[in-house]
Structure 1
Amino acid sequence: MNNIQPCDRLWSIILAGGEGERVRPFVQRWLGRPKPKQYCAFVGTRSLFQHTLDRADRLTAADHKAIVIARAHAWEVWPQLGQRPSGMVILQPANRGTAAGIFLPLTYIKARDAEATVIIYPSDHFVYPEQRFVDSVRRAVLTAEWLPDRLVLLGVTPDRLELDYEWILPGEPLDRSSNYRIQAVRAFSKRPALAEADAALAAGALWNTSVFAANAQTLWGLGDRCFPDLMSLFERLHLAIGTPHEARVLDTIYHQMPSYSFSSGLLQRIPEQTAVIEMQEVLWSDWGKPERIANSLRRIGRQPAFPLSCLGRPFAPTGLMADDGCTIAGV
């Protein structure tokens, strides 16, 4: 496996259609208006969305991106794309859950390259240092090409009992020769109870970053298996891509589109077709709460772009996070 190189058919899927509801009051206090968190620059000058685009461009050709945004957010997105090659920007008519958010761009990639390998990136997460994270993504791509029947997720070692995250319970090693720990997956646990999370932590469970690599055909086949009604709608869109009816078909299927969670509807049902790579020395956080944003920036020694008073209550850093005094390069 160590001699495999990433294929030329590699695509990045950037998920940027969320509303950031839990962070909305904090952003409102800070900016004086609502703004989805992925388009906010919480530190430096680049937004979470722009950081995600830059990371994706390190591994895939600039025109091999499929960016999913909410139609209502287009006015936020175009200025942030600027002059960069954006690949495909797909305006999602409505939010129909994370499964639709993934299979919509996959439909467009499938129309361009049915043999593609894809990387899925949420655009509202924080990672540091970026190069170690990108190296881990590259390893996930290599693993997905080596084990094309599996979705290969990136996991991170927990440093606290975080009950809002999804936890991955790893199984047996799949590649003992690698410097990365590539393991099968025994099960997923979404938002566990305190006792369940404590047991998972003791058993060596990982947090699911929701970043994964997969063979496009394998991912599509798993969608057919787990979401047949959803995938029949995307099959209709696939046939319409490039025709005068494409926009009308997209709107029509979203009027009928069921809402499914990719995690509970697919991942938790097929753990035997997944693998997990444990990222080493990478700080990762889902910035779904203001306290996580402040804690992450404190850990890397950076001053936030927002006043701490905007957090809405006195900020007390968690005792489970040690200040490592690092800095972010390039922000």
Structure 2
Amino acid sequence: MKKSQNNYCVILAGGKGRRLWPCSREERPKQFVDFFGTGRTQLQQTYDRFAKILPPENIYVNTNELYADIVREQLPELSAIQLLAEPIHRNTAPSVAWCTHRIVNINPDANIIVVPSDQTVVGEQKFADAVERGFQFVSNRQHMLTMGVKPTRPEPGYGYIQMGEHVTDGVYHVKSFTEKPERDFARMFMESGEFYWNTGMFLANARHLLDSFRALLPPVLRNFDKDCCPNVYNFEEENRYIHENFPSYPNLSIDYGILEKSPDVCVMCCDFGWADLGTWHSIYEARQKGDGDNVVVDTDVVLDNARDNVIKLPKGRLAVLSGLEGFIVAEEGNVLLICKKEDSSSNIRRLINEIQLKKGNEFI
């Protein structure tokens, strides 16, 4: 298949990854870690996936200045213009707005797919076909297109998209978004057949996406083009403007800031295998279970009457679990975490805040 020069990918890789602490640490979050011992980090695997679909020069990475050197080390093929490093942490709406501004100025006819850097995809060809179908849909329509996957379990840790009116083959208007419902609601969603998991991946033609930012987000973003490079695009001037103004940008997610407010968002029903690997619970649900329904992640382990656990220790360590049920056992550097798997995401956030207050950043 010929790779279209008008199709671009933006990989969002600036998160701190705290929900997978302690294996995801502030200085090297999960997207930069070879978490499963495959030989490639999650960022590298995401890049590899899209390099098979798009021209490599059309793949952009958005991150934080703290991680820019790690990105350059892991993806040396990126040019300077393909790496956007923010001066402070903000949510995904200003990140995508900056990337869209740059791509539109390079190619006004661009179509963009925005993707997180911490997902796993099973069925590469089905995924590539879905991406190509998505690009075809948005290239001649003023719509944003989310990619939805049919739920395989009532997962409360994922977002859900409700299908509305039919648009075309496999594409529907979005009726509603629901973020991380209670398990009973997730079960109702799954059984209804109307809801798909929100993969966090979406597509749009770049001009329409930029118009949506101008219409829906605060003036600080609407003024971007007027204040930055008003006559002719200049890469250095854009970087200077961003670093001076980014602290005043809103801390909004792309879902809340754009997708949930726009009247022209659709969902494409996809059938590739997918999992968000952002939490210990999601890793447990998504990964293949071994003896006793334990998930052992690249770890040497001896299990004795142990069930339903997630275990990840560094190379050279031996984990011996006896009589343990429903726990996370994870070690990295100077931290060993042992906690109940149930409600682990909220508990880990709370624990990190407490440790940061009591012990400082050394253990974060």
Is the shorter-chain TM-score for this pair beyond 0.5, marking a shared fold?
Answer: yes
The partner residue of 1:214 within 175, 179, 204 is 204
Deviation (angstroms), 1:315: 9.1
Question: 2: CA distance between counterparts of 1:267 and 1:169?
Answer: 13
RMSD over aligned CA atoms reads 2.8
Deviation (angstroms), 1:21: 1.1
Change (3 A) 1:108 1:244: closer
Larger Rg: 2
Change (3 A) 1:309 1:216: closer
Q: Deviations over 1:157-197 (max 9, x none)?
A: 11222223211001122224xxxx22221111122234433
The partner residue of 1:128 within 116, 122, 129 is 122
Task: Name the structure with the higher strand share.
Answer: 2
Q: Deviations over 1:216-260 (max 9, x none)?
A: 111111111210324225323454852654433111111221211
- Contact preservation (8 Å) 1:233, 1:257: no
The partner residue of 1:19 within 13, 16, 21 is 16
Farther-moved stretch of structure 1 (158-167 vs 190-199) = 190-199
Question: 2: CA distance between counterparts of 1:7 and 1:158?
Answer: 31
The partner residue of 1:157 within 150, 154, 159 is 150
Change (3 A) 1:52 1:243: closer
Deviation (angstroms), 1:68: 0.6
Change (3 A) 1:185 1:244: closer
Change (3 A) 1:226 1:131: same
Deviation (angstroms), 1:59: 2.1
1:169 to 2:170 alignment: no
Query: Which residue matches 2:241?
Result: 249
Question: 1: CA distance between counterparts of 2:286 and 2:156?
Answer: 17
Query: Which residue matches 1:188?
Result: 177
The partner residue of 2:34 within 34, 41, 44 is 41
1:285 to 2:258 alignment: no
SS of residue paired to 1:174: strand
Deviation (angstroms), 1:150: 0.9
- Contact preservation (8 Å) 1:119, 1:211: yes
Query: Which residue matches 2:219?
Result: 229
| Matched AA of 2:143 | R
Segments of structure 2 that go 5 or more residues without pairing to the other structure are 301-310, 314-327, 330-337, 343-364
Question: 1: CA distance between counterparts of 2:125 and 2:8?
Answer: 19
Deviation (angstroms), 1:7: 4.6
TM-score w.r.t. the length of structure 1 is 0.82
The partner residue of 1:262 within 244, 249, 254 is 254
Query: Which residue matches 2:191?
Result: 202
Question: 2: CA distance between counterparts of 1:187 and 1:295?
Answer: 25
- Contact preservation (8 Å) 1:110, 1:216: yes
Alignment identity in percent?
24
Deviation (angstroms), 1:87: 5.9
Change (3 A) 1:58 1:174: same
1:100 to 2:94 alignment: yes
TM-score w.r.t. the length of structure 2 is 0.75
Equivalent residues, number: 302
- Contact preservation (8 Å) 2:81, 2:235: no
Question: 2: CA distance between counterparts of 1:237 and 1:56?
Answer: 30
Change (3 A) 1:85 1:241: closer
Structure of greater relative contact order (alpha carbons < 8 Å, 6+ residues apart): 1
